Chain A
């Protein structure tokens, strides 16, 4: 009936504090005896972070999120999430007596009548822009260095969910003040929802509690914005961080760095100090931006009213790609069938966006299926050493950038004195052709860089020093890299395409054909790293670094891919 749990060491050993431990030691011991926290401190305190600037992008996202929570809490003390009609009687003259919702009234109250309210509002909004921007950059870093590979595929998915949640948080927050700009944005979302075939209108009525705009939406968005979405976000964030600890951090290749170790600074004391300081730096940058630069001047926009639609209405940057997709879709995608108008103007861009996001979410699984690589990877790829992946990423970035740019098509037209139709047509071409161009250019550039690396490893780099030999011959002296630098250039894997071989039943299935074709596409163009033999031949001294001793699971790979060129 009863079960016994063995007591842990910490709780068992009283270990009377040594004299001289002082109050800190006594307090630490008191805590440890009651919580066994020393095990946790030991585990976390010795967690190692390698030092590379790009590894801190996720931290920026985390810190801006903390700033968002702090400033957002302040805002909730004063914000009224209600669409009850009222008349503004605050300090801002050009809105005096104007009819507006209580939400807009309280947002103006925060801006003009609450001490420090405008600063906090601007901190909240700037931090939100930075939050999502740093998530985006963090994802790009992870993508281009291959940090999403096994065992981190699930954490990539969690990170992706965080990205989507952050966008949802941003959009719900943007709509809360019930000003004209955000109301226009909400109307576009209403249009997106109504554009869904069959269920669109009902869904819209469900969300808005009747015909747009109704009197319910601000309250509902508020619940989502401060309760539901943050709760899910924090849960996923915690999971994300737990996985970061469980997996240990990735690192770039270097002497002594293997798939089985992590080289860097421990959290205590070095990294905690650095990271703690960095939090305040991020907070400081956000506070400076909020102090000196206006963001979302709702007093200029005025209260929302469904009839006025402002020129130059754009969403915040992270929704821009969706707005841009709507602007790029060519007209005429509707027809009448069975006495109903079937419109595809909205649903096609929506499907394109969903597919784009879906591809981002499942990319780690796609790549591991294509390459057949099921090993763990803790050493990062330099982007050039994975040319096809880097090229796919560049194509994706180009496509996203086209959609993003399209959201500001009207501003480009007015500011560069162009016709808006011309801008749209150019961006349409960019969205369709740009990814292919970016793909090919990036792949060629990567391969070129790999060739250059190989050349440098084998023959050294040009020093610019011309020497005349006794016989009269002129040569340029090539300097050799030191062993540390050379290691970074040769420690990478080179895959070969999967051979198409019959399976155990002696058949070649279409799926196998597809996989083989994809593998071929991935690895057809490749530059193998300089081998030990080549290095010895080039230098002739035998003091070249021991290349390729750091991959524990080579045999496994060879089974999967039918051999590789790594010696």
Chain B
């Protein structure tokens, strides 16, 4: 009896579905566990000589073509002396480096290195000459004063990144990117190091607490859905106008055609 029912269960039409679900949960869970492990080990000891040596090797094979074997820079890329670990972590960690091609500015791409490798290269660059360090985790918790952050953002950032952080155009094909979905570390490092066309906001200009507040504000806007409904990309009146014309007036014209249609 028991054997029969087990057999029946095995041939149940939903058995395959269940099997696939189990398989997915196991592999997905395993992957998640694995990637969180790598994230955990990314808290690398930046001063360890072994890590620095590892970073030097990675640098020599991936970066030195443009930045020079001793970070002195070449015709194709700037010197990296004094840029610090924060710069490396931002440029490599967001996929901007290594560069795919010369252009108006480095584009965000799929990240090419693991967190460990990025940390190793950052440690190597920081070991050559001092520069801004990777920010302390205590500043990245998005637990500061959002109101102060919002005010600072409007005054210092909105003219390029747009008041809602939707990004904006600069000259000659350069642009300020959208800020939703950017890690708190990378936002902080961007303010600290001024990548691409961005100005540097050093600690005299915006104190670490100010930077923390700005991150708090951006994360608040990102994590709290708009009380008014779908945001239409936060693009302001252009998106609203297109929506009103295409969907609003479009729907109304559809109704008009329906109302005046002749019955057959």
State how many angstroms separate the Cβ of B242 from the closest Cβ of chain A. Answer: 8
Task: Find the A residue at minimum CB distance from B247.
Answer: A289
The CA of A307 and the CA of B157, in the complex, are separated in Å by: 12
CB within 8 Å of B: which A292-326 residues: 292-297, 299-302, 305, 307-318, 320
The CA of A333 and the CA of B262, in the complex, are separated in Å by: 57
Task: Find the B residue at minimum CB distance from A96.
Answer: B147
- The bracket for how many chain A residues form the interface is 35 or more
The CA of A54 and the CA of B257, in the complex, are separated in Å by: 8
- Contact present for A414 and B175 (CB under 8 Å): yes
| One of A93, A301, A409 near B163 (C-beta < 8 A) | A301
| One of B159, B173, B217 near A308 (C-beta < 8 A) | B159
Q: Classify the interface of chain B: helix, strand, loop or mixed.
A: helix
Which A residues lie within 8 Å of B257 (CB)? Answer: 53
State how many angstroms separate the Cβ of A501 from the closest Cβ of chain B. Answer: 46
- Contact present for A53 and B253 (CB under 8 Å): yes
Which B residues lie within 8 Å of A165 (CB)? Answer: none
Which A residues lie within 8 Å of B78 (CB)? Answer: none
Which A residues lie within 8 Å of B154 (CB)? Answer: 180, 302, 305, 308, 310
Say yes or no: is A356 at the interface (Cβ < 8 Å to chain B): no
Which B residues lie within 8 Å of A315 (CB)? Answer: 237
Task: Find the A residue at minimum CB distance from B173.
Answer: A419
Q: Classify the interface of chain A: helix, strand, loop or mixed.
A: helix
- Contact present for B252 and A285 (CB under 8 Å): yes
Which B residues lie within 8 Å of A52 (CB)? Answer: 260
Say yes or no: is B40 at the interface (Cβ < 8 Å to chain A): no
The CA of A293 and the CA of B244, in the complex, are separated in Å by: 10
Contact A413 B256, CB 8 Å, known A129-B240, A297-B226: no
Contact A56 B259, CB 8 Å, known A126-B244, A180-B163: yes
Say yes or no: is A207 at the interface (Cβ < 8 Å to chain B): no
Q: Convert A72-102 into 0s and 1s, putting 1 for each residue whose CB lies closer than 8 angstroms to a CB of B.
A: 0000000000000000000001111110000
Interface window among B23-31, B65-73, B164-172, B197-205: B164-172
Contact A308 B240, CB 8 Å, known A93-B146, A300-B163, A419-B104: no
The CA of A446 and the CA of B253, in the complex, are separated in Å by: 24
Which A residues lie within 8 Å of B39 (CB)? Answer: none
Measured CB to CB, the residues of A under 8 A from B are 51-57, 60, 93-98, 111-112, 118, 122, 126, 129-130, 133-134, 137, 180-181, 274, 277-278, 281-282, 285-286, 289, 291-297, 299-302, 305, 307-318, 320, 407-411, 413-414, 417-422
Known contacts A311-B169, A320-B238; 15 further A-B pairs (Cβ under 8 A): A53-B257, A56-B259, A94-B149, A129-B244, A134-B252, A289-B248, A296-B240, A309-B158, A310-B154, A311-B162, A312-B169, A312-B235, A312-B238, A317-B244, A413-B175
